[in-house]
Structure 1
Amino acid sequence: MVQEAGGVATGRGGGGGGKPHAVVVAYPLQGHIIPVVHLALRLAARGFAVTFVSTEDVHDQTARALGVDPDGYDVFASARAASAAGELDDVAYELVSDGLPVGFDRSLRHDEFMGALLHEMSAHVEQLLRRVVVDPDTTLLVADTFFVWAATLARKLGIACVSFWTEPALIFNLYYHVDLLAQNGHFRCNEPRKDTITYIPGVPAIEPCELMSYLQETDTTSVVHRIIFKSFEEARGADYILCNTVEELEPSTIAALRAEKPFYAVGPIFPAGFARSAVATSMWAESDCSRWLDAQPAGSVLYISFGSYAHVTKQELHEIAGGVLASGARFLWVLRPDIVSSDDPDPLPEGFLAAAAGRGIVVQWCCQVEVLTHAAVGGFLTHCGWNSILESVWAGVPMLCFPLLTDQLTNRRLVAREWGAGVSVGDRGAVRADEVRARIEGVMGGEEGVKLREQVRKLRGTLEAAVAPGGSSRRNFDEFVDELKRRCGGH
C-alpha cells in the first residue's frame, strides 16, 4: 500500500505484473457511482489492474456517511481485505477535484456544480492520468458517458476509451441522434412538433412527452444541455460503449446502436449477491430499517424513494403525502434532507408523521437493495431512476412511477408502457392526492397488483438469464474483456 495525494491509501494499480490497466473515473452523482464501482470490481475479477478515480467531495461525503475520517480512508479497503486470493490487490483508489471546494453545496447550487464538471474537472483528471498511465499500450480509460472530455483525453494520452453508460440503451440512442430530432422539428425549436417520433433508428415510435426532460425544453442553452451535447460528441469518439442494460429488454435499440459503435449490454450491474455492497457507495448515512420491516405483514409495505439527485416541489410532496395517508397502506419513505431544497429540511405536511404513526416511517436514506428484497415490501413508489428500476425488477417489486427529471420520463415509458411492470401516478405539476391513493390501493391490494407482480417476475427471469453462464450480458462482458485484453496485450 502507498500513500497518494489527498491522504488516501491505495492498492498498487498501474497495470503491474503485466496486467492490462483500467483507469475507471466515476461521475460524481450517487446514481452513477453505484454501477461504476461494481464495474470496476468486475474488471478486477477478470484480471485487470484498476485505478478507480472519485472526486474529493464524493469521497468526503461517503466517509462522513459512514462516520469515518475522510483522511486516509479507502473505500475499497474492506473489499480488498476480504477478496479471494488477492483478487483486488491491484485496485488503487485515487481522488481528483471536480473544480469546487469540498463542502460546496452542490445540491443548492446545481448549475455551478455542473459548470465545474463542464469546464474545470478535465484539467484535474488529465494531471492524474499523466501520473498513473505508465504504459499507454496496456491502459484504457473507462469514463462515464456524461464526462465531456473522455475521448479527447484518451487520444491525447494514446490510450483506449470506454464510454460507460449507466442508463437504458434507449436514452443513449435518443441523445446520440439528437441531430435527427432537431432536423425533424422535435427539438431545438420554439414550438417543437407534438406528433409521434418514428425516425430514430431502433425506436419504432416514441411520443415527444416520453423524451428525456432536457429534450422537451425549448431553452437548450443551459449548462446541462451543453454537457449533454459535448459528452455525446465525445461518445462518438469512444472506442467502445458499455451499457448497464440487458439485450432482451431493448433488442431493436441495441441492434441499431451496434451498427454505429461497438456496443456491449452487460447489465444489470449489481453488488455481488444483490446484497449490501462490500465497497461503500452511499453518500448519505443509511438507516437500518430491518427491525421495523420484520414487524410488518408480507407484501404490505409501500417503499417510497425519489432517488439521490432530483428535487420535488413542496406542493408535489404534499399531494403525494396526502395520497399515501389516504391509501391506508403501510409505508417506508426515504426522504433525503434536500428533496425540496437544502434550505427546507422539513418539507412534509404538518401533522403527517403523527397521522402516520404506527403504519409508516420516514428515514433520510437506506440500503435500497436490502429494503426491496425484504418480504414485507409489496410496491415501490419511485422516480424511475435506472438503478431503482433494475433493483425493483430483480426484487420482484412492481412500481408506481413518478418521474422527476432527465431519463426518468423515458424510463417510465419502458416500465409502464413496454414492460407492464408498473403504473404512472402523475406528472410534474400534475400529481393529485386522489390519484396517488387510487394507484397505491390498486397496486398494493388490487387485481392490478397481481398482474403487475406476475409481469415483474417474468422480467426478473429475463435479468437472471442474462447474467447466468451463457446469458447475453455474461457473454457480452466476456467478449468485451477479451477484446480489451487483445488490445492491451493481456492474457
Structure 2
Amino acid sequence: MPPTTTIEIQNKIVSLLPFFSSPLSSLLSATLMGKEEQKPHAIFVTYPLQGHVIPSVNLAIKLASKGFTITFINTDAIHHKTSKARLDSGGGGGSGGGHDDDIFAGARKAGLDIRYRTVTDGLPVEFDRSVNHDQFMASLLHVFSAHVEVLVRKIIKCEPPVTCLIADTFFVWPSMIAKKFGLLYVSFWTEPALIFTLYYHIHLLRANSHFACQDKREDTIDYIPGVSSIEPTDLTSYLQDTDTTTVCHQIIYKCFEDARGADFVLCNTVQELEPNTISALQVEMPFYAVGPIFPTKSLVATSLWSESDCTQWLNTKPHGSVLYVSFGSYANLSRHEIMEIAKGLHLSKVNILWVVRPDIVVPEEGDPLPDGYREDMGERGLIVQWCRQLEVLKHPAVGGFLTHCGWNSILETIWCGVPMLCYPLYTDQFTNRKLVAGDWMVGLDLCQSRNRVTKDEVAKKINLLMSGKDGEKCREEIKSVRKAFENATAADGSSSRNLDQFIVDLRDRTAAAPHRSMEVRI
C-alpha cells in the first residue's frame, strides 16, 4: 500500500470538517484551503462631501455583497449631519433600525460585513464648511491624513487582515499611507472618466497654454489621449480659473500625482458611454469602469438634510407635467441668479418642485426667494429644503430636471429617463454638461454663462424641454443611454464584469505578496 501524501491527509481532514461546527473547524478550513480563500478586507475612506459619500457608501455595499469585509471611515462632521437629518426625518431615511451611531446597521442586518468608524477632519463638528470652503479644503489637505493614519494603524490589527485601502482620488495621501502599512491602494474616482483624464493630463494643458498661463489659448483642445476634442469652456471650473494657486488647485496637483501610485482605479462611469477615453486610460493604469453606482435600495442613510416626502403633492399632477429643480448639496448661487431663475420658473407656467437649501445664497440670511413668491406659485409649486431625489425622479409626474449637473444627479436622472436642463455652477459640472447636452444629447443647455442668465431665457428653455421638439429628442436619446446603463449593470454587463475582474486582480496581487503587511500587524 503506497504511503499517504500530505495532500491526501489535508483533503481527508477538509472532507470531515462539515461534520463539525466549531471555531476550530472554521480555522482549520481557512488554514488548509490556503490564503487565496481568505476574505478580502478593505478600509474605505470617503471624501467628506455628499456627492462623494453617496457613491462611496454604495460601492462599499456592492463590494460587501461580493464577500468583502469593509471598514468604512467617515468624518465626524458628515456623520453628525447625517444622524441629525435622520432624526429630524423621524428616524427613517434607510438607516434600517435607527442605530444613531452606525449608518451601516441596516446593511449588517441584511447580512453585509461592513464596520463603521469616524474620524475628525481637523475642524470642529459645528464649523460651517460650506461658507468657509478654503479653510475646510486646507484642513483636508494638511491635517486630515494624520487622523486617518492613526485610525488605519488600529484597524490593521483587527481580523480579517486588511487587504487594501480604497480612498477617494481627491485625497493627496492614500498611496503614502497604503505603502506605509503594506496595503494595496485602490483609487475611487466618483466622476466621469473624461474629467479624470483631463486632470491626469494637466501637464499637457499647461504645456499647450490652455491652463495656468497669462495668455490662455481659446481654441479647441485636441491633444488629450482618448478625447477627440473639447472646448476650453467645457473644462472643469478649476481648469478655467485664472488664479491657479488656490488650495483646491494644490489638492488637484497633488492628488493626481498620488493617483499615479495607485494599484487600481475604480471609476463611477459606464464603459460604453466613454469607450475611447477609458481605453486610453487603461494603457496607463488598471482602470475599471464600474458605474453607475447609486442607491437602488435605501440600506444606508446618506442625506445631510431632513428629507421631505413629495409623493402626495406629485400624485396630484398630470403625467410629465412637473419640472424638478435642484442645484445640489454644496454649491451656492448669487442673489441675481436665484432671482432670475425664480422669475423664469414662474413665467414658464409649468408645475415646479424646487429644492431650495437655506444656505443656497450666501452670505445672506433669510428667505432667498422674492417676497411673496411661495404664495404666488400656489398649487403650481412645491418648495422644500431637501427631498428624496431618486423617489422624485422616478415619479411619473416628473417630466424634466433643471440641474447643476452634479455627476450623481446625472446618473440618477438618466436611470429614471428624465431629460435635463443644464445649469452648471462649478468644478466638474461644466464638463458633465458637455456629456449631457453635447455628446449624449439627453439634455439642453440653459445658458453658456452664469452671468447672463435671464428670466425670459429660463422660461423659454423650460418650455422647450417640457413641451417642445428639443425636449422630445432628449427623451428619445435618454432611452438608449438608459439602456446602456441597464446592460452595463446586468449580470454579464460591462460594469459587472469589470468589478468582478477587479476583484480577481486584487486577489491575484494579494496572493503574490501574502506577507506584505505582516510586520505592521504585529
- The residue that corresponds to 2:348 in the other structure is 327
In the TM superposition, what is the alpha-carbon distance from 1:483 to its structure 2 partner? 1.2
- Deviations 1:161-202 (Å, cap 9, x if unpaired)? 000000000000000000000000000101210011010000
1:20-169 paired onto structure 2 within 5 Å: 20-67=40-87, 73-81=101-109, 83=110, 86=111, 88=112, 90-134=113-157, 138-169=162-193
Partner letter of residue 425 of structure 1? L
Calculate the aligned-residue CA RMSD, in Å: 1.8
- The residue that corresponds to 2:15 in the other structure is none
Stretch of structure 1 that moved more, 123-132 or 340-349: 340-349
Conserved? CA contact 1:335–1:363, under 8 Å: yes
TM-score of the superposed pair, with normalisation by structure 1:
0.93
Q: Distance in 2 between matches of 1:64 and 1:138?
A: 31
1:50-449 paired onto structure 2 within 5 Å: 50-67=70-87, 73-81=101-109, 83=110, 86=111, 88=112, 90-134=113-157, 138-271=162-295, 274-275=296-297, 277-341=298-362, 343-426=364-447, 427-449=449-471
Q: Distance in 1 between matches of 2:385 and 2:119?
A: 28
Secondary structure in 2 aligned to 1:164? strand
Conserved? CA contact 1:133–1:139, under 8 Å: no
With over 3 angstroms needed to count, the CA separation of the structure-2 counterparts of 1:169 and 1:345, relative to structure 1, is: farther
Gaps of 5+ in 2: 1-34, 92-97, 515-522
Conserved? CA contact 1:420–1:455, under 8 Å: yes
Stretch of structure 1 that moved more, 71-80 or 43-52: 71-80
- Deviations 1:372-424 (Å, cap 9, x if unpaired)? 00000000000000000011000000000000000000000000010110001
Q: Does 1:458 align with 2:458?
A: no
In the TM superposition, what is the alpha-carbon distance from 1:156 to its structure 2 partner? 1.1
In the TM superposition, what is the alpha-carbon distance from 1:489 to its structure 2 partner? 4.0
Conserved? CA contact 1:243–1:265, under 8 Å: yes
In the TM superposition, what is the alpha-carbon distance from 1:488 to its structure 2 partner? 2.9
Partner letter of residue 36 of structure 1? S
- Deviations 1:432-468 (Å, cap 9, x if unpaired)? 1111101111111122221111111111001100101
- Deviations 1:462-482 (Å, cap 9, x if unpaired)? 110010121111110110111
Q: Distance in 1 between matches of 2:40 and 2:421?
A: 43
Equivalent position to 1:486, from 508, 512, 515: 508
> Percent of aligned pairs with the same residue?
57
In the TM superposition, what is the alpha-carbon distance from 1:344 to its structure 2 partner? 2.2
Q: Distance in 1 between matches of 2:231 and 2:472?
A: 28
In the TM superposition, what is the alpha-carbon distance from 1:18 to its structure 2 partner? 3.5
Gaps of 5+ in 1: 1-14
Q: Distance in 2 between matches of 1:216 and 1:108?
A: 22
Larger radius of gyration: 2
Q: Distance in 2 between matches of 1:79 and 1:20?
A: 18
In the TM superposition, what is the alpha-carbon distance from 1:487 to its structure 2 partner? 2.5
Conserved? CA contact 1:286–1:367, under 8 Å: yes
Partner letter of residue 456 of structure 1? I
